[in-house]
Structures are given as structure tokens and as C-alpha cells.
Structure 1
Amino acid sequence: MLKGLKRSYEERSFWLPIAAVAIIFMLWLFGPQDTWAQAAEDHDIDDGKITLALETELQLSEAVPSHLVNVSTNEGVVTLSGSVSNILAKERATELAETIKGVRSVVNNIEVRAVIRPDEELKQDIINALLYDPATDSYEITPTVNQGVVTLEGTVESWQEKKLAGDVTKSVRGVMEVKNNIQIDYLERRADTEIEADIKRRLKNDVWVDEALINVDSEGGDVTLTGTVGSAVERRWAAFDAWVMGTESVDTSGLEIKWWARDEMKRKSPHEEMTDSEIEAAVQDAFLYDPRVHSFNIEAVADNGVVLLSGTVDNYRAKMAAEKDAMNTVGVWRVKNHIKVRPLDLPENETLEDLVRAALVRDPYVESYDIGITAVNGMVYLDGEVTTSFEKNHAEKVAWRVNGVVDVVNLIDYAHTWTEKNDWEVQQDVMNQLYWSPFVDLDDVRVEVENGVVILDGTVDTWIERITAGRNAFEAGAKDVWNKIEVRYNGPYSILPEEEE
């Protein structure tokens, strides 16, 4: 698990030549006399500063080829325009914008200029992607394609299944737009009080959301969320949590974004009141709403915030999804994943290699690379060369989704370079990233730099804050990161770097 976190730090490039831009940005952003603390007290962030922060974030992102993406901001509303090569990159641009402090909403007018493919060929690839994905293989979904625009029809039992079918479709090379007309047929009708209770419980258990500032109301399954959130991305996650059994629609227009609210309202640390039994129940609740996981009998045992997962699943993607679900649960600070993968039908080695190869060829990010694939009794070995660490990690995740894969060994190589910057530049760039993040309180983190290596220290409220701070440091251009930040759970717990190996 923690190796996966280490890999995730690499998802954005830290070798791009932005040092000179960063220095000018820092001086312009706060001026020579201002301090980071003074900047944090300014509730009204200038639109120009938001634009430049997002442009920097897009430049660092390996998932978004941003050389043709334009950004403008008006009263906290970000408008994206230009073009990218695939629909996943377009959606990633929205997600990045939503994580910038001060952004109230995002209008994404980016054009997807994907490779042109014949409609029938694209349709067959979509059918295969849905058929060979271990979670969507049983869905009765019919795709139609018209010049790269895909319409999905059919019926599923939950909003999460509907969203997953759309996500699988978007991962196919050549898809420019997805119209998801899949209908949700709930197994039973539920009272509004039950729906509201489920939503409140999901919000409370979600480490990315503060439920104390959100009000929930349901009328005939039409859910309305009102109150305050700290960022546009927190509003998005709150909307996801509101889709429980019985939900017909979700309205989040009444959720006001106040990025400073977390400090001024003295948000409580949710971990302090979570017992191990409550954590176990929360993890199981997360499994219930994950279509990749809910059909399996996975046991979660918590010991002082450390969750041990065990049981058996029939695909590797389900194992990794369960781990992520547990990690995103309030009160959890570490996950030990002992889940066993036992495919219902283990393909022959050559057959499995063909299935993984077909999945990689369908993918819009890695289809052009010559990636070697070797399968041995369910173990898949990937080798070859790609351009970025994001592409390396993405190729591995594509292999996860193939039925019959028990584990993946990723031997793919990419360019390991680092643009030289002096320690002051690195420190200022890291503090800039931490300032713009809605998940990290800069006052709680100390940043030191020695020969390009960033040392993070301090104490934060949540495990997610610790992970995010480390990721932000890599994004800012650190050569390496030593994360010494402690996390408060009934007293500080320190996760030392050697535990992350």
C-alpha cells in the first residue's frame, strides 16, 4: 500500500524547467514584504493569482497535455478552453482546477481532439472494455457511437455502477464524449429519513469531507445539500457521497465554498472519537457503495487505526479498490492488504498476455508505447520504456482491470531527471504548493531543504493531510521527500520514512 503511495508521488513531473517562473510567481504572488501567514489571512484571492496557480499545476501534471489549454478566472469561477488529446485529460483538468484554493466552480470548454476511429471499430472496443472489466462484465449496457460521441443505454442497480460504466467507456482510445443515459433501477424504495441517515453516515466516514458543515435534506429521493465546504473538490465528493440507495438526484448548489472555513470554524479532528469497531463499520459501509468490491466478503479488522484487510476476491482491481476504500475512511491511518486474488477462471499465460495487450492498446495514454507483457500463472510482468512516471503507473492500473490478473510487477522504465534548483527555490515552490492546497494547513507544516531534498515536519489532523503534503512537495520539484509529519489520533502517531519502503 505505502509503496503505492510512493508511486503516486511520481504521478506529476518534477523535472520540468519551471524554476525561473516559480521565482517570479512567488514575488508577484505575495510581494517582497508579505509572508505566507499574512497571505493565508486574505479571504479574497485575486483571480489572476488563481489563474497562475492553476497554470502552474497544469504544467506540472503529466496526465494533462496542457500546452494547448487556456485558463481564465472571474470571481473564483475558472473557465478552461483549448484542446487535449483524450477525454480523461479533460476531466483531469477539471479535477486539478477544483483543488486550487479560492476556486468556486469550473467551466470546462476544452475540446477533445482524440484520434479519429471508425464508429463500428470504436463501438467494438467499448463493448470489449465493458465485457473484460471484472466489475462491468455482467452489466446489460448498449453503446452507440456517432463520430466519437458515445451514448450508453441500459439499466443498473446503483449510481456507482452507472458512473463506473461511464468511466470504463471513457478509458477507450478515440472516445470524445460520453452521454450516460443508463437508468438506475433500485431494488427497493426507501423512506427519505433512511436516505438522509445513509448520506450523513457516508459524509461522516469520508476523510475528504467535513460533514459537520453540511446539511442534508431528501424529498422523494431528491437530495439537497446545503452549508459550507472548503473547496470545489470537497463539494464534488460530498455529491458522490449523497448517491445512496434511493437517491434520485443530488443538488449541491446550496453548498457555499469558503476555503478558510476549516480554520475559522475550528473543525474538529474526526479521528479522536473513532473506536476500532466504528472504523470497521465505516470501512464496510465504504465497500457497500463500491461496485468493484461490494459483491465480495472482505473482512476489515481495525487495531488503533491500522486496518487489516483479508478475504478473497476474483480480480486484482477489486483488491486495490478495497485498499483505497479503507484508506479514504475516517480514522484509518494505515492499511495492511492481505486480500487474496483467486480468479474464477485462470487464463493460459498466452491468453492473459493477449488480454492485457488489448487493454493497453485500447487506452488513450499508453497505446502508442511498445510495452512488453509476460504472464506466468496469473502474475503479469510489464517492461519497456515510456516518457513519464504517470504513464508507467497508468499502464499498471490498466493491467489491474483485466480478468485473470492476480498481481502486476511493473518493470517499465521512464526518464529519471531532475532540473537543478537551489534550496531556496525548492522551499518557496513547496510552500507555494502547500498554500494552494485545500487539504493542508501551511501553519502546521515546516519545510526545510537540503541539496534539493525536502524535509517535511510538523503535526497535522489527518493521514490524508500528511499524504497530500508529501505529494505537493514532489509536485513542487523536490529531488526527494523525507516526510516526518506526525498525525494526531488520540495523541500523535509518527509514520517514519523507513515504513514507507
Structure 2
Amino acid sequence: MQPLDYDVQPATAERVTDADIMAAVELFFLTKKGVSTHLIDVATHDGIVLLTGIADNLLARERAEEIALLVRGVRGVVNELIISTPDVPDEELQRSVAAALADDPAASGYNVHCTAADGVITAAGTVQSWAEKALVLRVLRGVRGVRRLAADELVIRWGELQNSDEEITTQIRELLDWDIRVHSALVEVRTDDRVVHLSGTVGSAAEKAQVVTTAYRAGAARVDARDLFVAYWALSPELRRTKYADRSDEDIAAAVRATFLYDPRVLSYQPIILVHNGTVTLSGAVGNLRAKQDAERDARAVVGVWDVQNLLKVRTARFIPDDDVTQTIKAALARDPYLGFFDFSVRVRNGKASLYGQVGSHFEQRQAGAVAAGVNGVADLANWVTVAASPGFDGFQAYAPQPNADFALAERIRARYFWSASLHNQAVEVLAEQGRATLTGLVDTWLDRGQAAADAYRAGARYVDNELLVAAEHEL
């Protein structure tokens, strides 16, 4: 994650205290898997969260920061977690890193090479954009045994025709206006010699991070966000109502197409985009399953999109035998820092991969699917990995009715929504019965709808019936 510059001004008069924020962050760590809660210490001062302690791997360090950014009242995160991961010999680690890049459908085409020394990976070479560099670093973080990345020698080779400062500013404004995750009306953008200066106000630290990321994607060489403040009042639904104003189908299609230009997994393909009453239909061919998934995710983040019909077909550039794909998936699962300790069975037939095995949480189950989907040659995926019974808030033990168990589950879900920067002020009703959570009411976006269901699972629900309606779609 790109480091942010946090302001040192005192927080505006918000209705949450540092002690409340710290407790909420620790609660999120406890119920969101992928971080070692017992190894992380949390401190908060004026809404700035300080994370110290130990993370198992680079992905866990990044995930801890992302989780904290999503908590209501957090104005920034200072991540000082150190990495403690099992030693992997340099030669073995270098082979694993090279294999991870070679097996990734997008990164395999980049001019990047790596060396390993005592768990430190030095990446060198050239890429064409900030987004491509971010993708390479993400792949490298996903290799077990990597303690630190050195990327100064991984250079972005801007094209001969570079955007002017004015064009960069315009692109950032347009991307923010169409990004459903950001309320950009209170954000000012100025560019001088490719340095983007951001000022104004956003409602959450996660929004601030998204604004900074957008600036880099649009071509910024550096981003100064010291004057972009996080304030609770900016989350007001009244302020954000204009964000969801009606958009024409033609404008939505153009915005989706523009979003694809900044996604290196989708950029090299040209999906056909049709929009009717806010429903986007994607068709055509892409070269890998991850590109198909990312295209849908990108489209759902565009203002005015109420649903996505993903009809994209995966057509690999060359034939890859099923046995080769099977072995590549197994190797990718084995080197993943979250999954390398589990046993999986993999079957591939005509490019469709089926995963079997047992993991400890829904997070690890989804991670297994994501790893397999990112392997070249996988055209479709059936994730049959199951979650083992476990006690506590993970909630996947065989359910036996207990006094007030459902009441406690519903309260845990409501507590997550209360502390969620995106869900705390939305009309979500929760009913729990025999470990099954039913969600009803209205939310602003499809992203919020999905987040509500994911949080219910993380709070301990065995099953979730998501009957939430998207407000703007409901009004059509």
C-alpha cells in the first residue's frame, strides 16, 4: 500500500473517542481473519492508529492496515508492524518469486527480474504504469518467506507522450467523480510537474487512501495528501446524495470503459460493454479468469451501475494441458503465505479447476479461490474447499442452540456495522436464527450490500440471507 502523509491537526468534533476506535480496531482484527491478533498492538491518538508488533507475512501486514482504515473515526494508520516469517533459503525463495511472476497472467509479460537475500526481494526492470508496478509488488507479497521488498530499481517507463499536469488533474477528477467508493465533491486536486496536491475533506481513512491511489493511477509521480483531511461529518448521507444522481447509460458505459484503462489485468483486452437502465453487460473474450473477475469488480465500482451481467469468456492465448495447470495451481497454493500449511486436492478438466480441502476460515477459503483464479490456463473455477468447525467468533462450529446465542450473534453483526465507516449510517436490519443471519433494509450501493454480508460472516454467521436492497435501484 502506498504510504500516506497524515495531517497532525486535531480531529474535528467527532462522536468517537480514541479508546473507542482502538477497541473497534481490535474487534475487527479478532473477527477478520488473515491477521495474527495476539501479535499486534493497537494505539490511537487523535484518530491516528499506530500498529506495532508482528505480522506473519507482507500480505498480513497490508491487510492489518486495510482493516484499520475501514473503521469509523480512523483518520489515518501508521503501520510499524515487522515481518516474522519462516526462513526460506535464498535460492528457493528466488525460484518461488520467479515462478509467482511467471504464473501470473499479467505479470508474466513484464520485464521484471528479482533477486533474494535473507528474505529481502529486490525487484528490477521496467513497467509501463504505476498500476503495473503495484500489481508486481502484490504478486511478490504473496510469496511465503518474503520479508521485505526493495523496488527502487523497478522503474516506470512513461510513454513518450505524457499527459500534461492539466490532463492528469482532469483524469483524477473524472475518475473520482465516477468512483462509488469516494465522495469527491469536497476534494480539490492540483498538479505541478506531475506532483499531485490533494486538499479538502473525506469521510474516512479508506476514502483518503482510495483518492491517493487514484492519483497515482492517473499518472502522478508523487502525491502530497497532507492537506486532505478525514472528518466524521463528511460521511453525512445528505452530502453524498448527489453522488448517486441519475446517469445516462451512455455515460456509464464510457466510465466503465475508462476504468478498464487503469486495470493492468483488463487493459490488454477490449470487453464489449452494454448498459441498459444501469445494468452493465460485459461480453467478449479475456485471456484469464482473474481478468474476467476484475472486469466485473471494476464495473461494480462505477457510479450508476446497479448490476453486472458477466458474460465474458476466458480464452487463453495458447493451449495449456490440464496436468500442467493442475501442477501450477498446487505450486501457487503451496507458496502462498496463508495457504501453504494446508493440504489441497486439485482437479482440472478442459481448463475448469476444482479445489478440494479444508481450511480454518472463510477468508482462507476465498484466498484459495483467488490464488487458483490467478493461474494462467484456468478458465473456470469451482471452489469446494470447506471451512473446519472452530469455536469463537469465527462461528463455523456445528451449531447447537444455546441461550441467547442468536441474540449474541445479531449484536456482534450490529457492532461491526456500527464501527464500519461505510455501513454505520445505513438502514440495515439484522435477524439471527439458529446461526443464520438475515439482512433486510436499504443500502447505498452494491458494494455496501456485499460488505454487509461479508461482515455478517466474519461476525460468526454460518449462513447469510442477504435481502438488502440497493436504495437507488429500489427507487427506479
Same topology, TM > 0.5: yes
Give the deviation of 1:42 after TM superposition.
7.2
Q: Deviations over 1:357-413 (max 9, x none)?
A: 111112111112221111112111111222222222211111111111111111222
Instruction: Name the CA distance, whole Å, in 2 between partners of 1:455 and 1:412.
Output: 24
Q: 1:46: which partner in 2?
A: 17
1:61 partnered with 2:32: yes
Q: 2:112: which partner in 1?
A: 141
Name which of 330, 342, 364 aligns with 1:369: 342
Contact 1:271 1:490 in 2 (8 A): no
Instruction: Name the CA distance, whole Å, in 2 between partners of 1:490 and 1:357.
Output: 42
Instruction: Name the CA distance, whole Å, in 2 between partners of 1:117 and 1:425.
Output: 43
Give the deviation of 1:479 after TM superposition.
4.0
Please tell me the residue identity of whatever aligns with 1:471: A
Please tell me the residue identity of whatever aligns with 2:155: Q
Contact 1:346 1:378 in 2 (8 A): no
Contact 2:189 2:196 in 1 (8 A): yes
Q: Deviations over 1:401-427 (max 9, x none)?
A: 111111111122222524755343233
Instruction: Name the CA distance, whole Å, in 2 between partners of 1:214 and 1:477.
Output: 37
Give the 3 Å change call, closer, same or farther, for CA 295–87 of structure 1 in structure 2: same
Q: Deviations over 1:124-182 (max 9, x none)?
A: 21112112211011111121222111121221110000100000111111001112222
Please tell me the residue identity of whatever aligns with 2:232: W
Give the match's secondary structure for 2:430. strand
Name which of 432, 436, 447 aligns with 2:430: 447
With CA pairs under 8 Å and 6+ residues apart, which has the higher RCO, 1 or 2? 1
Contact 2:68 2:74 in 1 (8 A): yes
Give the 3 Å change call, closer, same or farther, for CA 282–467 of structure 1 in structure 2: same
Give the deviation of 1:264 after TM superposition.
7.3
Q: 1:186: which partner in 2?
A: 158
Instruction: Name the CA distance, whole Å, in 2 between partners of 1:345 and 1:317.
Output: 16
**1:389-404 pair list within 5 angstroms:** 389-404=362-377
Name which of 299, 302, 314 aligns with 1:329: 302
Please tell me the residue identity of whatever aligns with 1:184: I
**1:96-135 pair list within 5 angstroms:** 96-135=67-106
Give the deviation of 1:233 after TM superposition.
0.9
Instruction: Name the CA distance, whole Å, in 1 between partners of 2:431 and 2:340.
Output: 40
Name which of 458, 463, 468 aligns with 2:451: 468
Contact 1:130 1:169 in 2 (8 A): yes
Give the match's secondary structure for 1:207. coil
Instruction: Name the CA distance, whole Å, in 2 between partners of 1:330 and 1:486.
Output: 16
**1:310-325 pair list within 5 angstroms:** 310-325=283-298
Give the deviation of 1:441 after TM superposition.
4.1
Give the deviation of 1:490 after TM superposition.
6.5
Give the 3 Å change call, closer, same or farther, for CA 451–402 of structure 1 in structure 2: closer
Q: 2:392: which partner in 1?
A: none
1:72 partnered with 2:43: yes
Q: 1:438: which partner in 2?
A: 421
Instruction: Name the CA distance, whole Å, in 2 between partners of 1:377 and 1:487.
Output: 38
**1:10-29 pair list within 5 angstroms:** none
Contact 1:66 1:84 in 2 (8 A): no
Contact 2:112 2:124 in 1 (8 A): yes
Q: 2:66: which partner in 1?
A: 95
Q: 2:228: which partner in 1?
A: 255
Name which of 468, 471, 476 aligns with 1:488: 471
Aligned length: 453
Please tell me the residue identity of whatever aligns with 2:184: E
Q: 1:225: which partner in 2?
A: 198
Please tell me the residue identity of whatever aligns with 1:468: Q
Give the 3 Å change call, closer, same or farther, for CA 457–377 of structure 1 in structure 2: closer
**1:261-300 pair list within 5 angstroms:** 261-263=234-236, 266-300=239-273
Instruction: Name the CA distance, whole Å, in 1 between partners of 2:105 and 2:436.
Output: 41
Name which of 129, 134, 141 aligns with 1:163: 134
Moved over 4 A (4+): 418-421
Q: Deviations over 1:11-65 (max 9, x none)?
A: xxxxxxxxxxxxxxxxxxxxxxxxxxxxxx9714211111111111101112112
Give the match's secondary structure for 2:206. helix
Q: Deviations over 1:430-450 (max 9, x none)?
A: 222111111124353333444
Instruction: Name the CA distance, whole Å, in 1 between partners of 2:205 and 2:464.
Output: 28
Q: Please, what TM-score do these two structures have when normalized by structure 1? A: 0.86
Give the deviation of 1:69 after TM superposition.
1.2
Contact 2:354 2:381 in 1 (8 A): yes
Name which of 263, 277, 288 aligns with 1:304: 277
Q: Please, what TM-score do these two structures have when normalized by structure 2? A: 0.91
Give the match's secondary structure for 2:241. coil
Give the deviation of 1:350 after TM superposition.
1.5
Instruction: Name the CA distance, whole Å, in 2 between partners of 1:414 and 1:474.
Output: 12
Name which of 374, 382, 394 aligns with 2:355: 382
Instruction: Name the CA distance, whole Å, in 1 between partners of 2:225 and 2:461.
Output: 37
Instruction: Name the CA distance, whole Å, in 2 between partners of 1:413 and 1:478.
Output: 15
Give the match's secondary structure for 2:354. strand
- Which stretches in structure 2 are left out of the alignment for 5+ residues? 1-11, 390-395
Contact 1:205 1:330 in 2 (8 A): yes
1:424 partnered with 2:395: no
Q: 2:461: which partner in 1?
A: 478
Please tell me the residue identity of whatever aligns with 1:157: Q
Q: Which of 78-87 and 261-270 deviates more?
A: 261-270
Give the match's secondary structure for 1:442. coil
Give the 3 Å change call, closer, same or farther, for CA 246–76 of structure 1 in structure 2: closer
